[in-house]
């Protein structure tokens, strides 16, 4: 399928880019890496932007660094850089694992962390672990800046909560406290690097007695957006984790998901996998704390 005609704009600053996006509204689309946008533009079922606003000439949006008690990742940071960052591996090895198991090396060398989130796919691999980590997004617009949690950014399949003229500039992640671990696990029937049919992120913090003091569980690819599983969390919180408890939490997660049938898996099969993967992810996160 050929891409329909569009105007390619290359602003040199965030201020200029925001103004251009605000001026053209729904007729404009942001180009970061382009791995999702260009595919959509070839698909006749998607609307095609009349203006493509590239961020590639804007400096200062590609970095990974520690800043006091935060980990900061610039919006244009490539997924391959996330996968291979020693800073990220030290703080959150499972986040690096999630990036490393996305698509092919060619895609990871082009695709960006913000692009993966802004595309707002229900199966976005970066979303569940970032949500479990209580990560934030810094956003800029002609009206100023604002910060929102990643877990309030998704508004539906392919939809996010960005307003007219807004651009995501940074992902901010709190550094881990003591006795804490994150685990992200995905399942795809085709290959480990294919789009997830199910993805589960679990973040755990244990108290000094070995009980779960805090738990956050997020499920990907099993609803219109990545979703939190509070009933599953409630099974774990306040208790010592073992296989029986993890299995009970997985069973609750099954009741919380809302999967669909597609070419990767049926809804019923996804429900089954949610229970299995949630149990495994809880146990792996627990082992990460007590190891």
Give the CATH number of domain 64-174: 3.30.465.10
Say what the pLDDT of residue 4 is. 82
pLDDT tens for residues 139-148? 999 999 999 9
Sheet architecture: strand order including 136-141: 64-67, 70-74, 167-174, 136-141, 144-149
C-alpha 247/C-alpha 235 separation (Å) is: 10
SS3 content of the chain, % helix, strand, coil (to 5): 35, 25, 40
What's the pLDDT tens digit per position in 74-109? Answer: 999 999 999 999 999 999 999 999 999 888 889 899
The pLDDT of residue 41 is 87
pLDDT of 157-201, one tens digit each?
Answer: 999 999 999 999 999 999 999 999 999 999 998 766 688 999 999
Looking at domain 7-54, does it have CATH number 3.30.750.24?
no
More confident residue, 41 or 45: 41
Distance CA 49, CA 53 (A): 10
Q: List, in sequence order, every residue forming a beta bridge with 9; answer none if it has no partner.
A: 53
Query: From the centroid of its chain, how far is CA 33?
Result: 16
Domain boundaries, the chain: 7-54, 64-174, 180-290
In the prediction, which pLDDT does 1 show? 60
Backbone angles phi, psi at 115, to 5 degrees: -60, -40
Instruction: Work out the percent of the chain whose per-residue pLDDT is above 90.
Output: 87
> Has residue 14 got a pLDDT over 90?
yes
The domain made up of 180-290 is a member of CATH 3.30.390.50: yes
The token duo for 56 is 């590639």
Tell me how far apart the alpha carbons of residues 70 and 216 are, in angstroms, rounded to a whole number. Answer: 19
Does residue 2 register a pLDDT over 80? no
pLDDT of the residue at 192:
60
């Amino acid at each position: 399928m050929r891409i329909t005609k569009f105007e390619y704009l290359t602003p040199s600053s965030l201020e200029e880019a925001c103004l251009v996006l605000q001026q053209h509204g729904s007729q404009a689309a942001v180009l970061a890496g382009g791995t999702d946008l260009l595919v959509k533009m070839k698909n006749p079922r998607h609307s095609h932007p009349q203006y493509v606003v590239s961020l590639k000439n804007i400096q200062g949006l590609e970095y990974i660094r520690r800043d006091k008690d935060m980990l900061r990742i610039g919006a244009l940071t490539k997924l391959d850089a996330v996968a291979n960052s020693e800073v990220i591996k030290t703080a959150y090895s499972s986040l690096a694992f999630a990036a490393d198991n996305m698509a092919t090396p060619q895609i990871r060398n082009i695709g960006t962390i913000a692009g993966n989130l802004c595309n707002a796919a229900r199966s976005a691999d970066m979303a569940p672990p970032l949500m479990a980590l209580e990560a934030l997004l810094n956003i800029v617009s002609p009206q100023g800046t604002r910060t929102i949690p990643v877990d309030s950014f998704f508004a539906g399949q392919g939809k996010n909560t960005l307003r007219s003229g807004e651009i995501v500039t940074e992902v901010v992640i709190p550094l881990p406290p003591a006795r804490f671990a994150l685990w992200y696990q995905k399942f795809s029937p085709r290959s480990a690097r294919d789009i997830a049919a199910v993805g589960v992120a679990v973040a755990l913090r244990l108290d000094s007695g070995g009980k779960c003091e805090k738990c956050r569980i997020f499920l990907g690819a099993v609803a219109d957006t990545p979703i939190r599983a509070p009933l599953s969390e409630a099974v774990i919180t306040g208790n010592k984790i073992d296989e029986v408890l993890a299995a009970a939490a997985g069973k609750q997660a099954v009741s919380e998901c809302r999967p669909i049938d597609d070419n990767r898996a049926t809804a019923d099969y996804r429900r089954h996998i949610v229970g299995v993967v949630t149990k495994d992810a809880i146990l792996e996160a627990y082992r990460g704390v007590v190891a």
